[in-house]
Homo-oligomer: A and B are copies of this chain.
Amino acid sequence: MIDIAVFDEHKLMLEGLVSLLGGVSDLRTVLICDDRGVLVQKLKAMQVHVLIMNIRDISVRNLNLIIQLTISSPKLKILIVSMIDSEETVLKTIKAGAKGYLGADSDRNDLLEAIYTLRSGHDYLSKSITHLLLNRYISGMQTGESDQPAGIGSLSLRQVEILKMWGESYTNQEIAERLFISVRTVESHKNHIMQKLNLKSTVDMIKFAIKNNIIEI
């Protein structure tokens, strides 16, 4: 018997996911949750084998949640379910502590397979993801470089975090206070971002952030 927790901020999708798990004899859905805070609290207090977590983006929010869960519930296997089939997303979630990733074209069978695989102690990546990583790896070796001029992938988590806050109209001072770092450090981060992305002005930086869904308009 495998104990499952399911998390999704979108209630309907959450119910849909849970519904997909119904009728499987050796799976038991013990936690259904659409609130991040509640999720962490509940998981701390109970023994769950696999957490199915649906995410829509790789915001710092989401990555932090994964990291937090990895720390607070070390035995828990986190299975990410996401529409996003990008190398970057997969790597970042895995790095944050997730043990499995189901991409856009995964179906119910893949979901079940992933659950069993995770339960048995192994990692699981869906076929499309495996292909993606392989292709990138191969083409990466051939060309030596990726095709993007310089993307969000080249930014570190911290850099994205600063960019996001700044894009939400926080001043350097406010960012510094919230992150408990010096204003100069915030400036440094922004400088590094500009260098990496080869941007000439802050205006370009905002445009970049919007293009890459780091901030909303």
Q: A interface vs B, CB < 8 Å?
A: 9-13, 15-17, 19-20, 22, 34, 54, 56, 81, 83, 102, 104-108, 110-111, 166-169, 171, 200-204, 206-207, 210-211, 217
A-B pairs with the 6 shortest C-beta distances? A16-B16, A19-B19, A169-B201, A10-B83, A169-B203, A206-B206
- Please measure, in the bound complex, the distance between the C-alpha atom of A200 and the C-alpha atom of B168, giving whole angstroms: 11
Contact B203 A10 (CB under 8 A): no
Quote the shortest CB–CB distance from A134 to chain B (angstroms). 21
Contact B202 A202 (CB under 8 A): yes
* Residue numbers in B under 8 Å from A16 (CB-CB): 13, 15-17, 19-20
* Residue numbers in B under 8 Å from A210 (CB-CB): 207, 210, 217
Contact B107 A11 (CB under 8 A): yes
- Please measure, in the bound complex, the distance between the C-alpha atom of A13 and the C-alpha atom of B210, giving whole angstroms: 27
Contact A169 B12 (CB under 8 A): no
Whether A20 touches B17, Cβ cut-off 8 Å, given contacts A12-B102, A107-B12, is no
Whether A15 touches B107, Cβ cut-off 8 Å, given contacts A9-B83, A207-B217, is yes
* Residue numbers in B under 8 Å from A22 (CB-CB): 19
Contact A171 B201 (CB under 8 A): yes
- Please measure, in the bound complex, the distance between the C-alpha atom of A217 and the C-alpha atom of B13, giving whole angstroms: 27
Contact A104 B201 (CB under 8 A): no
Quote the shortest CB–CB distance from A58 to chain B (angstroms). 11
